[in-house]
A and B are shown apart, each in its own frame.
Chain A
Amino acid sequence: MLIEKKDVDTYLGMLPDGIMSQCMGQFGYLENDWIVLPFININQLAMAINRRSETARKAIIMTNEQKKLVLKEIPWYCSSERFADYELTFQMRLRELGFSIPKIHETKQGKLYCKVNYDGSDHYIFAQDFEIGESWKATNIENSSIAIALAKFQKLCKAICHEMIIFEPPRSNVFELAQKMLDVAKTNIVEKYNNHVEIENYYDYAVNKINQYKKEAIEKGYFESVMPVHGDFNPWNLIFSSEGTVLAVIDFDNSIIDNPIHDLCEALVDICVFNYKPNTTRFQGIPTNINTERAQQFIEVYKKNEGIVDYELIPCVAATITIELIALAIARFDYDYSDIQKLYDVDDMVYYGLKG
């Protein structure tokens, strides 16, 4: 994820009425033609949408004809016309090729997004069909479905790579992203605590490890094979059917040009390493082991479905993503400050757990 420090959101994660009204007008709806549904269904439990989605503001809209849409703002860290064009064309093309992406609606002017000037700045918002389904429950069927969906997704991304490159999407890599997230984590901790020796020690350790993993990845040809990637292919950005198959892939805000191993390892680490607080994307507890059986199963299913990655890259990339997610947890204060000393060697645990 490309993260810099963001300004305080005075709307607390909700899309302001003014932005929504302007957007819905661009999609041809009058003010009384629609309402917002603030509560969403997370596995039959009701939750306010701004508690679920913390980086990108969204609203679920219901029209008078009972049609449901998601209005989604392109987040602050990638907010530009160029990125909007890229992200939405990418999704549209994937859908055209038969991949499970909810339909993106065009404005009356035929654009894939609205540009709204509000509170003195430009905002880019798009509308997508609201896909009714279930959140990830970590069942075996769901995990296998993720592997199948990822393999299909990556084959399609490779096929349309040349089309997407024209949009000049951002280029990055897991090592750069992990470094940036570490910087954010350190900044947040230093701001909050007087004594920040622990974070500084972990920071130095983690930077050293990232460089090690990067060296190994370069030797194995990491930068020789790049294409559009999702950038945040974790189970919380997938919608499942009640049978456990992937109904839709959403949230392409972190899409970049990178090695496809990025998405595979993101999925692996999220599914096999980290634990989550119930019905949230927040981490719970320091990871103490890697579920190697689950990881093996995932990779086998992915391979069977003709996955395209270089498997030799898995350990060093997964370990780097582990550091990135640890840094995210620190930055969000998911872990107690006193637990930072327990974070050393988690990346080693992942590295050696996935080697072979």
Chain B
Amino acid sequence: MIDDVKQIVYVYSGKGGVGKSTVCVNLAFALHKAGKRVGIFDADISSPSVPGMVRGMPFSHPHMENMVIVPSTYENIQISSTGFLSEPIDGSFWTGKYLKGALYQLLYAVNWNVDILLIDMPPGTSDLHQELFTHINGDILFVTTPQSISYEDVIRSIDFVKRLDMNIIGVVDNMAYLRCKNCGEKIRLFTGDTRNELCQMLDVEYLFEFEMKPEISQYAPRGIPFVEFATNDELAQRYSALSEIVLKRSNIRC
């Protein structure tokens, strides 16, 4: 059951398209490489992203036991996502009793054999966010891109979690730069300054800037996380460093 999980980290952003799921999946695999048993709950029940990112890995198919969905498993990584289910989920109304019930079957009642559970949250602030944040105590890892247009939504979402008195581990600045193949110079496509415009202003820690890697989207159709195929890359090492910070700073639940 969810109550048995000692560490829970929400990977979250107020804005869509910043790479939350990519960060979540790669962080999970980095934690796995560090010897941890890791769970991922894909909280975007209507539009799950996680299964597509790992379909090149030999995950087992989920099945049901006692009306609870047993997650897909590969080595010590368990993933619970509607994206793995036998039929594609249509655009149903995941609200009210149906939302609570789906969370029961996909998350709360699941037998998580994990040291740490990452919850990949959809963007925004909705019934789902309120339900999870108020019922499941966890820490927040924010993901953004250095775009001023993202900051407003991220600021709102930081405000939202602060008012719920949730612990914020810090902010990852994703797709912060592209590195020139010839001279190695960092090319900043976006003009925002996450450290000063966002983090300093809201008193949350700026953790890392992550490079925008074309290989991530090139390998995406194969469903293999970046840290799995580019173990020695600087970005993979940053994920490793991020995993250490997450382990150290996320609270141990009683």
Is the C-beta of B189 less than 8 angstroms from some C-beta in chain A? Answer: no
Q: If A39-B64, A39-B105, A46-B69 touch, does A20 touch B97 (CB 8 Å cutoff)? A: yes
B86 interface neighbour in A11, A68, A279, Cβ under 8 Å: A279
Tell me the nearest residue of chain B to A48, going by C-beta.
B89
Listed residue (B86, B93, B95, B105) with the most chain A CB atoms within 10 angstroms of its CB: B86
Cβ contacts A25-66/B at 8 Å (1 or 0 each): 000000000011111111011111011000000001010000
Shortest distance from the beta carbon of A51 to any chain B beta carbon, whole Å: 5
B64 touches A48 (CB 8 A): no
Q: If A36-B98, A37-B104, A68-B67 touch, does A42 touch B93 (CB 8 Å cutoff)? A: no
Q: If A17-B96, A46-B69 touch, does A36 touch B101 (CB 8 Å cutoff)? A: yes
Is the C-beta of B165 less than 8 angstroms from some C-beta in chain A? Answer: no
Chain A residues within 8 Å of B95, by CB:
17
Cβ contacts B198-212/A at 8 Å (1 or 0 each): 000000000000000
Classify the interface of chain A: helix, strand, loop or mixed.
Answer: strand
Q: If A36-B98, A36-B101 touch, does A46 touch B63 (CB 8 Å cutoff)? A: yes
B69 touches A39 (CB 8 A): yes
Listed residue (B87, B95, B96) with the most chain A CB atoms within 10 angstroms of its CB: B87
B104 touches A35 (CB 8 A): yes
Shortest distance from the beta carbon of B236 to any chain A beta carbon, whole Å: 33
Shortest distance from the beta carbon of B103 to any chain A beta carbon, whole Å: 9
Chain A residues within 8 Å of B67, by CB:
37, 39-41, 60, 62, 68
Tell me the nearest residue of chain B to A68, going by C-beta.
B67
Is the C-beta of A12 less than 8 angstroms from some C-beta in chain B? Answer: yes
B86 touches A47 (CB 8 A): yes
B92 touches A48 (CB 8 A): yes
A46 touches B86 (CB 8 A): yes
Is the C-beta of B85 less than 8 angstroms from some C-beta in chain A? Answer: yes
Is the C-beta of B223 less than 8 angstroms from some C-beta in chain A? Answer: no
A38 touches B86 (CB 8 A): no
Shortest distance from the beta carbon of A130 to any chain B beta carbon, whole Å: 9
Q: If A45-B64, A51-B90, A68-B67 touch, does A35 touch B96 (CB 8 Å cutoff)? A: no
Listed residue (A20, A37, A38) with the most chain B CB atoms within 10 angstroms of its CB: A38
> How many residues of A sit at the interface, in one of the four size bands?
20 to 34
Tell me the nearest residue of chain A to B101, going by C-beta.
A36
Chain A residues within 8 Å of B86, by CB:
42, 45-47, 279
B104 touches A46 (CB 8 A): no
Chain A residues within 8 Å of B101, by CB:
35-38, 62
A44 touches B64 (CB 8 A): yes
Is the C-beta of B55 less than 8 angstroms from some C-beta in chain A? Answer: no
Shortest distance from the beta carbon of B45 to any chain A beta carbon, whole Å: 9
Q: If A12-B90, A14-B92, A48-B87 touch, does A35 touch B63 (CB 8 Å cutoff)? A: no
| Complex Cα spacing A50 to B100, Å | 16
Interface residues of B in 37-73 (CB under 8 A from A): 61-64, 67, 69
Chain A residues within 8 Å of B69, by CB:
39, 46
Tell me the nearest residue of chain B to A17, going by C-beta.
B96
Complex A-B: 29 CB contacts under 8 Å: A12-B90, A12-B92, A13-B92, A17-B98, A20-B97, A21-B97, A35-B97, A35-B100, A35-B101, A36-B98, A36-B100, A36-B101, A37-B101, A38-B92, A38-B101, A39-B85, A44-B63, A45-B85, A46-B63, A46-B64, A46-B85, A46-B86, A46-B105, A47-B87, A48-B90, A48-B92, A51-B87, A68-B67, A279-B86
Task: Taking A14-B98, A38-B102, A46-B62 as given, write out 16 further A-B residue pairs in contact, using a Cβ cutoff of 8 Å, ordered by the A residue number.
Answer: A13-B92, A14-B92, A20-B97, A36-B101, A37-B104, A38-B92, A38-B101, A39-B67, A39-B105, A45-B64, A45-B85, A46-B86, A46-B105, A48-B92, A51-B87, A62-B67
Which 9 residue pairs spanning A and B have beta carbons closest together?
Answer: A41-B64, A36-B101, A45-B86, A17-B96, A44-B63, A36-B97, A46-B64, A35-B101, A46-B69
